[in-house]
A and B are shown apart, each in its own frame.
Chain A
């Protein structure tokens, strides 16, 4: 079904939201991700992805508190829905299976 598949970047964002648990909002997700991936992120990409995730009902959003550094504007905080949890777990399972399925000797250095 179209729209329920999880893109790679979506998966990363979803995992980051889970990681940040109670403080997952766009800027935080962006900083966390760009630090871990070691490449700059564009705010627009994060926004678009989070919107898409919300449309797919994988995350839920609510407004958080307003801070001075945001010019008195509120954050939109995200948490994973059950569907979201399901989706990342599913992704992980597929990956694990794939790793397990790689025959020994396929990688020259051996499977670590």
Chain B
């Protein structure tokens, strides 16, 4: 076969060996000769090599050896033209010294042949339009899904990487044990910052205490904005490597300064220079703009950090914070602490050092909580922020894995289609292979032919996938709540994408390539060739695999969806409709409650108004130190504590199990509490009404009498059990105004009225409100996003599978056209034939279903175990999915089989 390499009569090489080069410096280097030797056609080789050598000789005389080498390369490159590679064809070009041995079979991967392969591949694609579009379309969709998921994963993994010291930043957190359970929290006590600085300072480069990020009012002249920001220590801008556009990272040195993000500065000052402008925070703190930093990117934990004010200002702004500082309160966990570890250490080492930084300082009675301080490194913030009993158990990373797996599977489905269709079709091409072999194709050529065809398909699919991704990205960004773009300029993206495509093409094309090229030409052409009884087994296995994946994904989607719905429909113990909340951020609200309430009620916009210490969808305060008759002394009685005003009950519409609401007729109600059902259960008391609960230690503690028990009010996570809660009556400790809009009027009208009243009575505060409904819905955003994406991917998965099935069914029908014709002539009905053709597929899908059930059950059971409040895995989910898969299969296959059954047998049999 390979005789052309062993030819003894090559003109060029024969002469080279006969004439030794004049001098090594005057002859082209050997590699150059080798290059021309390989590429040029034999009949042109001598003169081309000669020409190049001559030019080289002249140039090395004139310009020296190195430049001659350089020009040699240029000449050689310019020579690369198919005309010079082309082997001599008979006739037109009569070479002076041609010999028959020069006409060799070209190397089967020569450019000319490759072009030929690609040409044939395109013709094949165009000739089988249905098959091609199924194949390319399915693959493109699969690839597009994989790319979208890839982008999503990339974005998740790139979270926070904006910060220069990404790998060395951590948040200081703590584990505490209570009632035998280890709880983990970001909140740390005030003195910890100083403790770490003074006693463990060598471990850290920067330490920055911080308040919780939240909305504050920024006022400049008559411009008021509610912007999210935080109070942080002087080093914070360096720690987070903020990009300062004006001012320096030292801007927080002065207690009355503030750093603004670019967008905030723009909003407040427009194009004017913001530096040294005077602002007010929450209408009470005067600050001067000391710097402007570039907005933090969307995929950073701090994307909402629109301003930073000095920590010292925060400390002096509120009495309770001053108290926390002055009395060294180790028990008040109300603050955050960020750190950048020193350059010569690592997280694990620092962790060991600071473990007991709190425990060593807490008062004796708090030792039982066994507080353990540790670092939560920045790379883990976004991805691994779940703790279960003190152990890190994942977080977002679970979804990254989940989607990664889904992506791989969807892609796998598409590849399986591709392979199935290729092999199914390739059997039809046995004759073609036979003929090609008979006229002299070598096996290598056939293999390259088939591989080329699959590569062409894959490359087209890849381009199509890019287009699909580009088109669907805006939508995908919206669903996933991200700002992603195709990484056109990232080489890794192209290397991965193209590398993957080529790999897919090679793998998918390998079976037909290797299998078909092994046929014996004589057998195929004589007609004695049979595809064999087991030829379709691999195909069937793949179909089963495909549907196993699809069915599992569908079951998964249904369960995820049901879990979300289940949590959404959870009874919440109050009425959320028309419930509006306004945070009292500025002191100007104080003392205005009564006038606001009267005016608003008179306007008819609201039916009731009250105040509370926590927003309706969160618990802001948890406290220990409660005792009551019959309490187990070892029990840490930690309650959610909420302060409310008189009409809170009427506003939110809570439901009484026993007892009564706070009432203005009882002045003693200032020392009354209302408990929720969970609290009564937690306290384990029979007759709660009238029970006296003490809060605080024996000397300074205060007694409260239980006057009512309400149904559990769901204020926190809809997936967690509701915590025992105590509601106190108080007009001092409240931050939120809660309004129940008049249900008989349109909400927008009512909001407008409320706004005008607020603007009039509290003119200095921006009117910034929230609806309880929306806030509650936001709690589902992650799950809902995941659910939507999962639904989308599952639907695509089943679509791709069906696409493949449809293609396969049409081939089977085509293969059996003659059989169907004979059966029809002998009297088979359309129904009979339909059954005959569909049966095999139904069996395959049923097998897939049986395999999918335990897999799906196991996976979902462990997923649901993450949620306290969860739906069950009812059998009907599996039943419905199985039935659905069967119906879809039947529909898909039926189209093809009925078409085959309806064919006129005369046509199919005439050729016999």
Report the stretch among A16-24, A70-78, A83-91, A97-105 that lies at the interface.
A70-78
B52, closest chain A residue (CB):
A43
Interface size class of B (residues with CB under 8 A): 35 or more
Q: A63-B96, A69-B57, A73-B12 are in contact. Are A44 and B81 (CB under 8 A)?
A: yes
Closest chain B residue to A69 by CB distance? B57
Q: Closest approach, in angstroms, between the C-beta of B13 and any C-beta of chain A?
A: 11
Question: Is A54 at the interface (CB under 8 A from chain B)?
Answer: yes
Min CB gap B107→A, angstroms: 21
Evaluate contact between B19 and A71: CB separation under 8 angstroms: yes
Q: Which of B32-57 contact A (CB under 8 A)?
A: 33, 44, 46-55, 57
Max chain A Cβ within 10 angstroms of own Cβ: one of B15, B47, B78: B47
- Contact check, A73 vs B81: say whether CB atoms are below 8 A apart: no
- Given A26-B51, A69-B53, A71-B21, residue A51 in contact with residue B93 (CB < 8 A): yes
Neighbour of B49 across the interface among A42, A69, A71, CB < 8 A? A71
B397 proximal to A (CB < 8 A) = no
Interface residues of B in 53-102 (CB under 8 A from A): 53-55, 57-58, 75, 78-81, 83-84, 92-97
Q: Which residues of A contact B84 (CB under 8 A)?
A: 44, 47-48, 51
Contact at B55–A43, with CB atoms within 8 Å?
yes
Q: Nearest CB to that of A62 among chain B residues?
A: B96
Task: Determine whether the beta carbon of B16 is less than 8 Å from that of A74.
Answer: no
Residue among A44, A55, A63, A70 making CB contact with B80, cutoff 8 Å: A44
Assess whether B26 is interfacial by the CB under 8 Å rule. Answer: yes
Which A residues touch B51, using CB under 8 A? Answer: 25-27, 43, 47, 70
Q: Is A112 an interface residue (CB 8 A)?
A: no
Kindly state the separation between the CA atoms of A68 and B27 in the bound complex, as whole angstroms. 10
Which residues of B have CB within 8 Å of A61? 95-96
The CA-CA distance from A68 to B58 in the complex, in Å, is 12
Indicate if A66 sits at the interface (CB-CB under 8 A).
Answer: yes
Q: Is B22 an interface residue (CB 8 A)?
A: yes
B81 engages A48 (CB within 8 Å): yes
Asked if A45 is an interface residue, CB under 8 A from chain B, the answer is: yes
Whether B490 is near chain A, meaning CB under 8 Å from some CB there, is no
Does A55 lie within 8 Å of B93, measured CB to CB? Answer: yes
- With a cutoff of 8 Å between Cβ atoms, the chain B residues found around residue A25 in the complex are 47, 51
CB atoms of B15 and A27 under 8 A apart = no
| Chain B residues with CB under 8 A of A72 | 15-16, 18-19
Q: Say whether B92 contacts A55, CB under 8 Å.
A: yes
Given known pairs A51-B93, A71-B19, the reply for A27 and B79 (CB within 8 Å) is no
Nearest opposing residue in chain B for A67, CB measure = B54
Residue in contact with A69 in the complex, picked from B26, B48, B96, CB distance below 8 Å: B26
Are A74 and B79 in contact, CB atoms less than 8 angstroms apart?
A: no
List the 10 shortest-distance A-B pairs measured between CB atoms, nearest first.
Answer: A72-B19, A73-B50, A42-B78, A70-B50, A69-B57, A71-B53, A44-B79, A76-B47, A44-B78, A55-B92
Binding site for A on B (CB under 8 A): 12, 15-16, 18-19, 21-22, 26-28, 33, 44, 46-55, 57-58, 75, 78-81, 83-84, 92-97
Residues of A within 8 A of B (CB): 25-27, 42-45, 47-48, 51, 54-55, 61-63, 66-76
**What are 24 A-B contacts with C-beta separation under 8 Å?**
A25-B51, A26-B51, A27-B55, A43-B52, A43-B75, A44-B75, A44-B80, A47-B48, A51-B83, A55-B93, A63-B46, A63-B96, A66-B19, A69-B22, A69-B53, A70-B54, A71-B16, A71-B19, A71-B28, A71-B49, A73-B12, A75-B47, A76-B47, A76-B96
15 additional A-B pairs beyond A44-B78, A66-B19, beta carbons within 8 Å, are A26-B47, A27-B55, A43-B75, A44-B80, A51-B84, A63-B97, A70-B50, A70-B57, A71-B21, A71-B49, A73-B15, A73-B46, A73-B53, A74-B50, A75-B50
